[in-house]
Amino acid sequence: NAGVTQTPKFQVLKTGQSMTLQCAQDMNHNSMYWYRQDPGMGLRLIYYSASEGTTDKGEVPNGYNVSRLNKREFSLRLESAAPSQTSVYFCASSERLAGTSGTGELFFGEGSRLTVL
């Protein structure tokens, strides 16, 4: 059981280049998330998808786009990378809201380390 898988794990881009971070989960979770974490900082929510076919902005959506391709996959795209987007990106998924069955906890991938020169 792989859980949440992110690719690539490392990437170096030049300013202005585009790229897509891929995320897939095999736990049949409805909700998926993208976070970024800058050095010495907490995680900030970029976008999330509460269910297949829906996406919503989080705290820091500017400069990013997302696609919920199907229930398993949620991708994050940088159309024109900037040095300010140098960060570690985490994808996560969760089953359902607490109070129904399950804890509603987040399961995280290992992170994708992006450097924009």
Partner 1 sequence: DAKTTQPPSMDCAEGRAANLPCNHSTISGNEYVYWYRQIHSQGPQYIIHGLKNNETNEMASLIITEDRKSSTLILPHATLRDTAVYYCIVRVKTGNQFYFGTGTSLTVIP
Among 58, 63, 71, 86, binds partner 1 (CB under 8 A): 58
Using the contact rule CB under 8 A, the part of the chain among 11-19, 20-28, 39-47, 71-79 near partner 1 is 39-47
Q: Write down how long the chain is.
A: 117
Interface with partner 1, residue 48, by CB under 8 A = yes
Distance CA(74)–CA(85), nearest Å, equals 19
Task: Give me the amino acid identity at 38.
Answer: D
Q: Do residues 33 and 44 lie in contact, with contact meaning Cβ atoms separated by under 8 Å? A: no
3-class secondary-structure state, position 85: helix
Which residues would be at the binding site for partner 1 (CB under 8 A)?
A: 4, 31, 33, 35, 37, 41-45, 48, 50, 56, 58-59, 88, 90, 92, 94, 97-99, 103-111
